[in-house]
Structure 1
Amino acid sequence: MKQNHWLPVCIFLAGILLFSACRKDRDWTPPPQNTEKDTTSTGFYLLNEGGWGYNNATLDYFDIHNGIYERDVFTKANPDAVLGLGDTGNDIGVYGSKLYIVMNWSKKIEILDARTARRIKVLTDQTHKAIENARYITFANGYAYLSSYTTSEKGMVLEIDTATLSITRTVEVGRQPDELTVVGNKLYVANSGGYSPANLEHTVSVIDLSAFKVTKAITVAPNLRRLKKDSNGYLYICPWGTTNKLYVVDTKTDQLTDSIGVMVEDFTIIRDTAYIYGTDYGGGQHAYTRVDLKNKKVIPGSFVTDGTKIIMPYGIAVDPNNGSIYIADARNYSEAGDLYGFDTNGKLKSTIKKTGIIPGHIAFYNRSASAGR
C-alpha cells in the first residue's frame, strides 16, 4: 500500500468535517433487531475500523445477557478525547482489567479500563517511534506483544508491560508483520511483506521470549496474514488471498507440517474447531467452513445453515461460553455495517443493524463484573 505524502493531510481535514456528521448518523440508527436474552454469556466489545483517513473508528458494546447494544461507548466514556477514538482500528483485546485498542493510522494504542471504557493511557508514535503502523496485539505472562510496520524494509514487535504500561523491549522481524501469538516460551509472528507485491514475505518469525530474539524464520507461503493456535501446539496460518490453503506449523519442531485446502480470508479457533470464512472474488461468493483441527479435516457443509446473506464478511468470533457465532458485515465499506449472531446450529438469532463503519474486531468481556490484573 503506497502512501502519498499529501493524501493523509487532505483526508485528515475532510475527516474533521465528516466526523460529527458520522456520529449524528449513528445516533439515528435503529435499535438491535431480533435480539434475545442469553443466560450463558455476558457481552463483547466491537471495534468498528472506520474508513482509512476519515477518523471515524468507533467502539461499541453488546450486552448479550440483556440484549442491549450500545454504540460509541468510547466517546461517551471519554468526552474530552480529541477527535474521538481515532483513525483505522486494526485490533482489539482484553487482558485482565484493561482493554487494548490498536489504532493503525492514528499510530497509537488506546489502553482503557475494560469495565468503563475510560482511557487509562495512550501509547503513541510521538513517544515510541516503533508505533508507526501498529497492526495486531496478543498477550501472555503479564505482557502485551504488538506487531508494527516500522518501514518498508523491516518490521518490529514491541513488548509492553501490562502493569506499568511501558514498552520494555523491541525486536526486528520480517517485513510488514501481522497477526502474532504465544505458544509456551515462543512468540510467532506472520510476516506479510504486503507493501512489496513483487517481493512478498513467506515466513513466520519465531521469537524466544527469554532473550527476546528471533531464533528462526519458518518458510510457509507468500503474504501471510492471520495466525492462530490450537490446544495441541499447532499453528494455523492463512495468507492474504494468495492461496486457498490453511497452513499448519508444529510448534514442537517449528516446521511446516501440513496444509488444508479451504478458501480462507479470516478465521477463529474455539475448542479445536476452526470457523472460517472465505471469498471467491471471481464469483463473488462467500463460504463459511469449519475444520476439525484434531483430524485436520474440513467438516462438510456451511456453518451458516439458514441462508442468511452477508454482503461483505469482515470479522468473525465465536463465544467461548456457548458457541454462538458472530459475523461482521462491512457492506460497502463506507456506510455503517451490520452484525449477525448465529446459534450453534447456524441459525440466525440476532441482527444488529448500523453498528459503525467497517465492523470487524470482537473482544468478549463482561462489563458488569471487574476482572483481574
Structure 2
Amino acid sequence: MTKHYRILFLGALVSLMAGCAKEEQSNSDPVKKPGAIVLNEGNMGSNNAALSVLDLDNGKADNMWFQNANGRKLGDQAQDMILYGSKVYITVTESNTLEVLDPATGISTRKSMGSLKPRYIAAHNGKVYVTCYNPPCVVCIDTATLAIEDTCRLGDYRPEGIAIAQGKAFVAGAYHKNDYNRFDNKIYVVDLTVFDTMPSIAAGSNNNRIELVDENTLVINHGNGTTASPSGMFFLNTATCAVTAAGCVLTRMTVYNGKVYGFHAPYGGTPSFVVVNCDGSVEDFPFTPAFEDMEQNENPYGIHINPYNGDLYITTDGSYRVPGDIYCFRPDGSLRFKTEAGMFPSKILFLTM
C-alpha cells in the first residue's frame, strides 16, 4: 500500500472512531467499532450485492450493514470499491450506480450512471475515474459535486481495471463490446491533464485487473485460461511503458510491501499460491492456506493483506445459492478466524489495525 493510501486509511479511521463514540451514546450508529468493509458482488440479476462490516478482533461479520444503514439494498452486481478521502466509492454495474458512502455510519449517496455500466475505480487530485462498458470509456467525476465532468472514449473494446501513475490513467482492454470472444491486447493510456488517449501499449490478451505496486510499476493479469486467451501476468513500467512478463499465472492478486501475493484457482482444480517480485521472478508463498469445510466446487475468490499486521484474508466464492466465506490467517499460517460473508465476497478495505 502506498504512503498516500495509508494516510487515507488513517483519516477514515479517525472518522470511524468518531462514529463509534456517538454509537456508545445513542446506540444508533450501525458501526460498533473499527474494522474492515467487505464488498459482496452478488449474483447478476438477483439484486443481492451487499456490504459487510467485519470485526477484526473476533471475525464477526454484519452482512446487513449497508441495508440496515440505508433502508435499501446495494444493488445488482457490485464490481469495485475504493477509499478516497473520507468516502468509500463503489460501482454497481448492472444497477448503473455509483455509491458514495460514509464509512463511519454506512450511509450512502447513490449516483445514477445512466446506462454506462460502471466497472473499476481509481482516484486522483479530487477526481474519481471510472471505467465503463457502455460505451467503452473512462469517465471523470468530481468528488465534490459527483458530476461527470468529462468522458474519454476508448474505441470498441470494453475496459476493466484502472490505475493512476505519472499523471496518467492506465486501463486494461478486455474484449469487444459486441463479441465476448474478440479479445483486446492493449493497455490504454489516458493523459489526465487533457483527458485524452495517448498511444496504447500492446500487452496481454483479455486484460483484466491492474494493481499499483509503486509510482513506476503496475502489475496486470490477463486471459481466461483458454487457448484463444491464455492466462498470464506482466509488469508495466509507467515511465518507459516497458513490459516484463511474470513467470506465473494469477487469478487474483494483491500488493504488499512491494511484492505481489496471489493465487491461481482453475475451475475444479487445486488453487496454488505464489509471491511475485517486480522483475517477474516467483517466490514460494509464506505458507499454504488450509481451508476448513470448503464446499464442493468452492474456490478462493479474493485475496487481501491487512497492511497493519500482515494478516492474510482469503475470500471464497461459495456458489450461486450459498454465501461465500472469509478466512483470516496470521502471518505464521495459523487460522485466526473463518466467517460467512455475502454472495461472492471479493474486496476488503481495512480501516484499522
Which TM-score band applies after superposition, normalised by the shorter structure? 0.7 to 0.9
Displacement of 1:137: 0.7
TM-score normalised per structure 1: 0.78
Question: Which structure 2 residues correspond to residues 309-348 of structure 1 after superposition, within 5 A?
Answer: 311-348=298-335
Partner AA of 1:110 in structure 2: E
Give the stretch that moved more between structures: 303-312 or 41-50. Answer: 303-312
Give 1:47's aligned residue. Answer: 39
Give 2:23's aligned residue. Answer: none
Displacement of 1:197: 3.7
Q: State the alpha-carbon separation in 1 of the partners of residues 287 and 190 from structure 2.
A: 35
Q: State the alpha-carbon separation in 1 of the partners of residues 163 and 172 from structure 2.
A: 9
Question: Could you say if the C-alpha distance between residues 213 and 239 of structure 1 is closer, same or farther in structure 2, counting changes exceeding 3 Å?
Answer: same
Listed one character per residue, the Cα deviations across residues 311-343 of structure 1 (whole Å, up to 9, x for unaligned) are 311111111111111111112232111110111
Q: Are 1:59 and 2:51 an aligned pair?
A: yes
Partner AA of 2:187 in structure 1: V
Question: Which structure 2 residues correspond to residues 81-160 of structure 1 after superposition, within 5 A?
Answer: 81=72, 84-119=73-108, 121-126=109-114, 129=115, 132-151=116-135, 155-160=136-141
Listed one character per residue, the Cα deviations across residues 128-183 of structure 1 (whole Å, up to 9, x for unaligned) are x5xx21111111221111000014xxx11011111222211110125110010100
Q: State the alpha-carbon separation in 1 of the partners of residues 121 and 174 from structure 2.
A: 16
Unaligned runs of 5+ residues in structure 2 are 1-32
Answer whether contact 1:292 1:298 (CA < 8 A) is retained.
Answer: yes
Answer whether contact 1:244 1:262 (CA < 8 A) is retained.
Answer: no
Give the stretch that moved more between structures: 62-71 or 357-366. Answer: 62-71
Partner AA of 2:103 in structure 1: A
Q: State the alpha-carbon separation in 1 of the partners of residues 158 and 304 from structure 2.
A: 24
Out of 263, 273, 286, the residue aligned to residue 259 of structure 2 is 273
Question: Could you say if the C-alpha distance between residues 42 and 139 of structure 1 is closer, same or farther in structure 2, counting changes exceeding 3 Å?
Answer: same
Question: Which structure 2 residues correspond to residues 99-248 of structure 1 after superposition, within 5 A?
Answer: 99-119=88-108, 121-126=109-114, 129=115, 132-151=116-135, 155-174=136-155, 175-193=157-175, 195=177, 196-231=179-214, 233-241=216-224, 242-248=229-235
Question: Could you say if the C-alpha distance between residues 243 and 308 of structure 1 is closer, same or farther in structure 2, counting changes exceeding 3 Å?
Answer: farther
Q: State the alpha-carbon separation in 2 of the partners of residues 299 and 307 from structure 1.
A: 21
Q: Secondary structure at the match of 2:197?
A: strand
Give 1:284's aligned residue. Answer: 269
Q: Secondary structure at the match of 1:247?
A: strand
TM-score normalised per structure 2: 0.83
Q: State the alpha-carbon separation in 1 of the partners of residues 159 and 67 from structure 2.
A: 30
Listed one character per residue, the Cα deviations across residues 203-236 of structure 1 (whole Å, up to 9, x for unaligned) are 0111111001111210101100011121251111
Q: Are 1:297 and 2:278 an aligned pair?
A: no
Give 1:69's aligned residue. Answer: 61
Question: Could you say if the C-alpha distance between residues 243 and 42 of structure 1 is closer, same or farther in structure 2, counting changes exceeding 3 Å?
Answer: farther
Q: Are 1:356 and 2:342 an aligned pair?
A: yes
Give the stretch that moved more between structures: 260-269 or 227-236. Answer: 227-236
Q: State the alpha-carbon separation in 2 of the partners of residues 340 and 160 from structure 1.
A: 35
Q: Secondary structure at the match of 1:280?
A: coil
Q: State the alpha-carbon separation in 2 of the partners of residues 52 and 306 from structure 1.
A: 30
Q: Secondary structure at the match of 2:169?
A: strand
Give 1:252's aligned residue. Answer: 239
Q: Percent identity?
A: 29
Q: State the alpha-carbon separation in 1 of the partners of residues 291 and 338 from structure 2.
A: 14
Displacement of 1:262: 1.1
Q: State the alpha-carbon separation in 2 of the partners of residues 114 and 364 from structure 1.
A: 11
Q: State the alpha-carbon separation in 2 of the partners of residues 204 and 139 from structure 1.
A: 18
Question: Could you say if the C-alpha distance between residues 331 and 67 of structure 1 is closer, same or farther in structure 2, counting changes exceeding 3 Å?
Answer: closer
Aligned-pair RMSD on alpha carbons?
2.1
Q: Secondary structure at the match of 2:342?
A: coil
Question: Which structure 2 residues correspond to residues 18-37 of structure 1 after superposition, within 5 A?
Answer: none
Answer whether contact 1:94 1:365 (CA < 8 A) is retained.
Answer: no
Partner AA of 1:275 in structure 2: Y
Q: Secondary structure at the match of 2:347?
A: strand
Give 1:371's aligned residue. Answer: none
Displacement of 1:67: 4.3
Listed one character per residue, the Cα deviations across residues 46-86 of structure 1 (whole Å, up to 9, x for unaligned) are 1111111011111100121464422211111112x3xx111
Answer whether contact 2:315 2:346 (CA < 8 A) is retained.
Answer: yes
Unaligned runs of 5+ residues in structure 1 are 1-40, 369-373
Displacement of 1:249: 1.2
For these two proteins, the number of residue pairs brought into alignment is 312
Answer whether contact 1:42 1:65 (CA < 8 A) is retained.
Answer: no
Answer whether contact 2:166 2:238 (CA < 8 A) is retained.
Answer: no
Q: Secondary structure at the match of 1:176?
A: strand
Q: State the alpha-carbon separation in 2 of the partners of residues 305 and 64 from structure 1.
A: 19
